[in-house]
Amino acid sequence: MRTSRRRFRDYQSTLRERHGDPTSSRHAAAKQLESSRQRSIRRLLIEFFGLLRGHRAPIVFSLATLTVATLLKLAPPAATKVAIDYALTDQPLPTTGWWSYLPGLDRWTLLVWLAGGVLAVSLLETMIHLWGRWYATKTVQRVRVAMRRRVFDHVLHLPLHRVYQLKSGGLASMLREDAASVADLIFNMLYNPWSAVIQLLGSLIVLAYVDWRLLVGCLVLLPMIFITHRAWIGRIRPLYRDIHRQRQDIDGQATETFGGMRVVRAFGRQRSESNRFVTNNDFMARQELYAWWWARAVAMVWEVLMPIASAALLLYGGSLILRGELTLGDLTMFLFYLAMLLGPLAVLATSATQFQSGLAGMERMLDLLAESREMPASPEAVTLRLPEVQGRIVFRNVSFRYPASQTPVLRNINLDVKPGQTIALVGRSGAGKTTLCNLVARFYDPTEGALELDGRDLRTIQVDSYRRLLGVVEQDVFLFDGTVAENIGYAVRNASREAIEDAARVAHAHEFIHQLEQGYDTVIGERGVRLSGGQRQRLAIARAVLADPRILILDEATSNLDSESERLIQNSLSRLMRGRTCFVIAHRLSTIVHADQIVVLEDGQILETGTHVELLRRGGRYHEMVELQVNAGHLPVKV
């Protein structure tokens, strides 16, 4: 807990600095990851209404019903005045104005009528209010879904390294909290303040009608809203922003901990994970309490002002009655309306602090939506048509470094892969084999040089249409929590059961799937936890087989299999690879002897290329590797 206290003290001093000097270096450093542009409230409002496009009609409707309901709410206090002045005391009903249209009523009848009227109006008000609120609630849910979908779709298209930076748990947190906060703003920023404003204006009008001097006294309070806003509320949003960000971090870490549960247990780190979680939460709690104080300060001003205003009015109004200038009913009504006037003012002031949290969430969402998507399609980018694709891949002077890293991972790669050829990539761990395949899969674009498909720069091809050509079996197999059949059929929409089983047969997965309790309908758990490493690999191969790709990437696709299964799969794989451009990475040389070209990578550069026989004859690095494996007894083929 001590660390979180210290962290919080640091945080407070950053806040102070931030407030004094917005460009301070510490602030800039803390916000480096996040493109945090502080938007003005006006800008935010414009963005908000922009986001509501398509939902405006029901919102306007619910605001209209709210207006009617609020106006109806203004009627009962007037009835109180009539009751006090004409039914409970001995005054005769006035004979001027609209009173003259009423038949002469005795006091009892008048009282009953008034009570009935109040009841009827209140019921009507409640019904209309409920109706409008139902619409508003429905709209809020719709907007929430729409916003989440928008954020989700956007994240699906963000560059990979950004997704990794934001972490899966952090993104889930943003989806849940920040995207939803836009919808909640409908209540906090539109619905509740709107009702407050109507009530405010309505009661002001009535008050002015009764006695304008009293009104002037009330109007003095109005600048208070402005002052509280300037002094405090503007400071609250950045606090909420930080809180949301902290929550995103906490969620991200928690998700990561659960994902790595086996490592956590294997190394007995439950305690320290738990401590980290608690410290972070403790820090967030401190942030929230701090924000609470700012919000509370606003509310407190109002809580002090209200009794002062009421007391002053009582004094002034009472003196008017004593001098016979005001009736008792007038004053009672006045006090009622005063409450109706001050109530909304307090609502406006406090809801202003509430919606700062929502605005902070919206701001974060806007930041995320403003981030550019991966490989944005230029207008002249072409969409590939499968039958026209040959599958020739050419690397022209390609160099590459990962985003946010300085060291080049690939340097000056030149490679010409003819349609249907198989390229084997070999080299030490960390040589850049997976990275090269990442470029082929267009997970990243090269930093220098270009990749070409059939003579066309990949960057001029619409990325989705290009990826449809691919089948990838990655080094770290990823499976979704679903059934075996769903996982194999992931790449192909509505794949038939026969097609799935055929693909599984090619990958030699059919046998083991058959032995699972529910066969193809067995649920395999998150990331396929219920399968062995080799089984997972075979499912991944089946998935790639079913996709029927033009370009196939096999990154250590069979590394987890025993030699026997590997040999079996190898046979079907070589059948599969026929007619497709293939990139194969394998440490076991037996799997790559038959490749059309073998590329030896070292430190991100191509050391040598050639066929197995050519490279052996050359007696270079490849020759060394083969010798090592033969001596270790790994190579079943005679070379």
Ligand X SMILES: Nc1ncnc2c1ncn2[C@@H]1O[C@H](COP(=O)(O)OP(=O)(O)OP(=O)(O)O)[C@@H](O)[C@H]1O
Residue 402 binds which one of Mg ion, ligand X, none, with CB within 5 to 8 A depending on kind? ligand X
From Mg ion, ligand X, none, which one binds at residue 515 (CB under 5 to 8 Å depending on kind)? none
Helix axes 107-156, 56-73, angle to 10 degrees: 160
Distance between CA atoms of residues 265 and 4, nearest Å: 25
Q: How far is the CB of 282 from ligand X (least distance, A)?
A: 32
Tokens 């820090």 — which residue?
Answer: 283
Label residue 108 exposed, middle or buried (CB < 10 Å: 0-12, 13-18, 19+). exposed
The reply on whether position 438 binds Mg ion by CB under 5 A is: no
- Minimum distance from CB of 132 to ligand X (Å)? 52
- CA angle 31-36-40, nearest 5°? 140
Give me the least distance between CB of 21 and ligand X, in Å please.
34
DSSP state of 380: T
Query: Minimum distance between the CB of residue 519 and ligand X, rounded to whole angstroms?
Result: 33
Interatomic CA distance for residues 440 and 233, integer angstroms: 51
431 binding partner (options ligand X, Mg ion, none; Cβ < 5 to 8 Å by kind): ligand X
The reply to whether 434 sits near Mg ion by the rule CB under 5 A is: yes
- Identify which of residues 402 and 490 has a Cβ nearer to ligand X in the complex: 402
CB of 579 within 8 A of CB of 420? yes
Q: Cβ closer to ligand X: 442 or 508?
A: 442
Between 40 and 429, whose beta carbon lies closer to ligand X? 429
How far is the first Cα of the chain from the last one, in angstroms, to the nearest whole number? 65
User: Nearest approach, Cβ of 498 to ligand X (angstroms)?
Assistant: 35
Select from Mg ion, ligand X, none the partner in contact with residue 202, using the beta carbon and a kind-dependent cut-off of 5 to 8 Å.
none
Which alpha helices (DSSP H) does 187-269 contain, by range?
192-210, 212-219, 222-228, 234-259, 261-266
Q: What residues have CB less than 8 Å from 397, skipping those under 6 apart?
A: 412, 413, 414, 448, 449, 450
Task: Transcribe 205-222 into DSSP letters.
Answer: HHHHHH-HHHHHHHHTTH
Nearer to ligand X by C-beta: 246 or 434?
A: 434
Which of ligand X, Mg ion, none sits in contact with 316, Cβ below 5 to 8 A by type?
none
* Least Å from the CB of residue 436 to ligand X: 7
Q: Which is nearer to ligand X, 94 or 430 (CB)?
A: 430
Of 195 and 438, the one with the shorter C-beta distance to Mg ion is 438
Binding residues for ligand X, per CB under 6 A? 402, 405, 409, 427, 429-435, 475
Binds 351, which of Mg ion, ligand X, none (CB < 5 to 8 A, cut-off by type)?
A: none
Ranked by CB distance to Mg ion, the top (closest) residue is: 434
409 makes contact, choosing from Mg ion, ligand X, none, with CB < 5 to 8 Å by partner type, with: ligand X
The interface partner of residue 199, options being ligand X, Mg ion, none and the CB cut-off 5 to 8 Å by kind, is: none
Shorter beta-carbon distance to ligand X: residue 279 or 559: 559
CB-wise, 25 or 429, nearer to ligand X? 429
* Shortest distance in whole angstroms from residue 426 CB to Mg ion: 11
Find the shortest distance in angstroms from Cβ 602 to Mg ion: 14
Q: Are 197 and 166 in contact (CB under 8 A)?
A: no
- Residue 229 CB, shortest distance to ligand X, in Å, is 45
Nearer Cβ to Mg ion (162/433): 433
Q: Give the distance from CA 400 to its chain's centroid.
A: 30
Q: Return the number of other C-beta atoms located less than 10 Å from residue 545's C-beta.
A: 26
Residue 629 contact partner, candidates ligand X, Mg ion, none, CB within 5 to 8 A by sort of partner: none
Return the amino acid letter for 638. K
Residue 501 Cα distances to 486, 490, 519, 543, angstroms: 12, 13, 11, 11
Distance in Å, CB of 379 to Mg ion, minimum: 36
Helix-helix angle 41-51:328-370, to 10 degrees:
80
Which residue, 211 or 555, has its beta carbon nearer to Mg ion?
555
| Chain centroid offset of residue 360 CA | 13
Q: Residue 117 or residue 408: which is nearer to ligand X going by CB?
A: 408
Stated length of the chain = 639
CA nearest neighbour of 373 among 456, 452, 464 = 464
Q: Is the dihedral of CA 305, 307, 310, 313 positive or negative?
A: negative
Is residue 417 classed as helix, strand or coil in its secondary structure? strand
Q: Which does 429 bind (CB under 5 to 8 A by kind): ligand X, Mg ion, none?
A: ligand X
Q: Taking the complex as a whole, how short is the minimal distance between the CB of residue 239 and ligand X, in angstroms?
A: 34
The site partner of 435 among Mg ion, ligand X, none (C-beta below 5 to 8 Å per kind) is ligand X
Which residues, 60 to 99, sit near Mg ion by CB under 5 A?
none
- Beta-carbon contacts of 116 under 8 Å, excluding residues fewer than 6 positions away, are none
Residues touching Mg ion, count (CB under 5 A)? 2
Closest CA relative to residue 557, chosen from 514, 602, 591:
591
Per-residue x/- track, 457-486, Mg ion (CB under 5 A): ------------------x-----------
Q: Which does 158 bind (CB under 5 to 8 A by kind): Mg ion, ligand X, none?
A: none
Q: What is the DSSP string of 285-313?
A: HHHHHHHHHHHHHHHHHHHHHHHHHHHHH
Find the shortest distance in angstroms from Cβ 431 to ligand X. 4
- State which residue, 202 or 432, has the beta carbon closest to Mg ion: 432
- Whether residue 442 contacts residue 467, with contact meaning beta carbons closer than 8 Å, is answered with yes
Q: Applying CB under 5 A, which residues contact Mg ion?
A: 434, 475
